[in-house]
Structure 1
Amino acid sequence: MENLEDYKDDIRKRKLKFPELADDYFANLINGAYNEYESEYDDPEEFRSTILKENPEHLFGFWKCMYSDTIQQDFYVSNESWIIPPESDLNEILRKHSSIEEFNLEEGNIFSLNGGYYVINENYLLRVSFPALAKAFQCVSHVFNQEQSLLERHDWLYDLKSINTISISDYANFILFTINGYKIILWHQYKLTFSDINLLNRNAAAIFNITSALIGLKDSISCNWSQLNDESFEELCYDIIYYDPKFDNKTIRKMGKSRSRDGGRDIVVYTHERIGYKAEKFIFQCKLIKSDSSLTATKVLDISDIVEQYEADGYGIFTSGVIDATLFDKIDKIANKRQLKIALSSKYEMERDLSMLPKLRDRYFK
């Protein structure tokens, strides 16, 4: 049986009945066999120079798709993305090579935070692979546009400034970048979960708080607790727990209206179950204090009975006041005796949490 390797030099000139086999060949060549070939050279740069002369796009993981002649549209593919030159028809390529007959695009924007790269619009927040995106941009810049020599260090910031448009397709099947007339389709992206977005939001809020302070937009984080009543305070506590990544918000329960017969349980919630760790049940009590007084041990009764009766693994308090030392001592004693997890939030912790959740703060405090 003849080997596809025998046709390496003229495979692009042949009319292929099964172009997908040739694409598989190039995928294996670029992502595997090249490593073996390189080991045969005393100087790796000599091998690199050989590739540069013949197929410079291979250095960035791309090859001309072997379906190009079949559908009469030139485009380049890798394991992660496609590059479509300005003269080629995006719709025709997608229709004939990916079975996407129709699609809509929504404008997006790209940003980076804590080492991750994200594309966002009103409907989606997606984490994208920086290496995949960088290789595609490098290929366009170095190989097709020849704006930079392949020997130069690549300027990633130059690419970001050169992006003309960013679009997200229906259901986030792909992201489309346009740069200097070339279209880059990124196929592999991660759709962030609620917990992912919540954590990202907190990190972004922390940065915005710092930058606001640096330009003189300092804002007090204190809240006017007199605006709340018992019911709205419990709802606020519910929302703070809901957005806490520690807890599984699908399990949260508010046990009736405030001052109802809830057995001392205002809110019940479970932590996320993890490998090696079972979900833990937490019971929270919510204590609104409108005066300047502290929340003392005499104002919080029957903690041990509540924990035992409802088989809680953790116990927490939210209060708009300051937690008195007598209450700290009481809860610490119970926690040590029962190996109980505790989560205590006085006005200080609550106000700092709300400073990281400005939309939530604005909802309750005018």
Structure 2
Amino acid sequence: MSTQILALEKIDQLFTIDSLCEYLESHKSIKLIVKCEMFDSANSNLSIADDYLFSLFLGESIYPFCSSISCLVNLRSIDFDLSVENPCELGIILLRFSEVCYSEGKDDCNETILDSFQELKINFQNKLFESNKPRLIFHELADSYMANLVAGESDLDYDEDSAKSHYSLHPEEEFGFWHSFLSPYLNYDLYSSPWAWIIPYHANKSEEPHNIETLLLSYGGMSENFIMEEADNLVFNSLPSIVLSQSVMMQFPRIGFNIAQKCAYSIFKKDIDSDSYSNFNPKVNHFRDAKTYQILLSEDGSLMTIRDNFAQYIFFVDHYDYSVDHYDYSSDAEISLKNLDVSVEQDYQNAFDIIADKLSYLAGNHIDISCPWNKLDDELFEQLCYDLIAYSSNFDLDTRQKMGKSRSRDGGRDIEVYTRSRLNKPKSKWIVQCKLLQRSATLAGSKVQVSDVIDQYGAEGFWIMTNGVIDATLHDKLDAISRNRKIGIEKWDYLKIERILAKPKYQNIRKRYFGV
């Protein structure tokens, strides 16, 4: 049976209750489109939050009358795919929601019905803020509602007493976090933000720490074979702080971690034995003893976890900075886990290379990781890039598509791939361009199509792979596009690729393409 499309805003104009029940009886598979006008035009996150709240209220109201139901958030709508089980009960609710949605544009909207609906909506909203989180079917819509509500709190114009009262009940919101509606499914509390998650260290002092592997596999967008490695937070000379494992080096989210720690302290200090945080100094937002931390970094650098005496913190890699309204930080604030700026990475690599070369020569083991790029043609280089996508566990390898042979009319997209979805972050399409250059050549901004390709194929991420050097014009071009369009950017030059291929795990790929 084919799926029928219904726009919620049109239902009350097209149907009576009897004709709608008859329609739903005859058509069991429905795509219900809920237009969200504020998604791409709102001046405040609070307006977007209202759209999410309306859709959440609708979804939780209709699911008991469906044999199956799911939702998808699009650029301008939220779509519910449902199978009808009780057509008349479902029809009554759909008709009522249709009558009140976008009521400002309807001349014949019944004020009594509207007032009654608003009262029900407020009662539903109040239940969302009860101390025991309700177990919602559409918990991701609820989290998106909270994300925009918290982001828009600066627009609420709280007076000092109101703000103090609100944050005493919800201390996490002062730091840009919210109590996730995923918590009832986990049987422990999860606090979420755009850049990090916080969970308690354990339920009580006698228990082992919560195992977060299931959380990351189910809701963190990680593949089943993701590997976490022990890592260290380092600062070398005057360079920015980094986190370093045996496989990857990333920018350490210094400010984001400080915010998250102080948030955790505010949330958990009443529930955890004072010994757990006796070494914590809330004025400077960190423990006095650095040994209190345990840091793990995923092999590809897409995920970092930190454990201290009273909480576990999960940071995801992101490609642009978030602002935190309650803190006055510069635009380059180290909020989220990020790839290092090229200049910083090069400074660290140069320092490490000097040290490594000296140690290698002292041990009599000088290692050359350079690749004989002259063995590859354009087609083989694209195939190598296709295989190297597996290095990042953020991407769903089953969605990789190589767009024809090299130099075919691919419209500037050599490879397409989708990220894995995670809580509050749906999957997104990435375009990969592969550029094989002559030895010692540089790749300039004029040689790479970006904006037109992104627009043409609706991509939310762009990935350039080259065996050459990416010059300043291309770095500046990609950074500007990432900043202005809020899309993800990956830049892999020969340094990045050769270091990946030097890892034991990728020796088979190196040998396949280069024979060494």
TM-score by length of 1: 0.43
TM-score by length of 2: 0.31
* Bigger CA radius of gyration: 1
